[in-house]
Amino acid sequence: MAKFEDLPGNVRALILAKLAAELAAHKSTNLHALAKIQRTDVTHAWRDICRKAGQPVCTIPADVIQRN
Convert the chain into a string of H (helix), E (strand) and C (coil).
Answer: CECHHHCCHHHHHHHHHHHHHHHHHCCCCCHHHHHHHCCCCHHHHHHHHHHHCCCCCECCCHHHHCCC
pLDDT in tens, 6-41: 999 999 999 999 999 999 999 999 999 999 999 999
- Please give the pLDDT value at position 14: 97
- Please give the pLDDT value at position 1: 87
What CA–CA distance (Å, rounded) separates 60 from 13?
13
Determine the structural domain holding residue 23 and report its residue range: 4-65
Q: How many domains are there within the chain?
A: 1
**pLDDT interval class at 67 (50, 70, 90):** low
The answer on pLDDT for 68 being more than 70 is no
What CA–CA distance (Å, rounded) separates 57 from 21?
18
Mean pLDDT of the region 41-45: 96
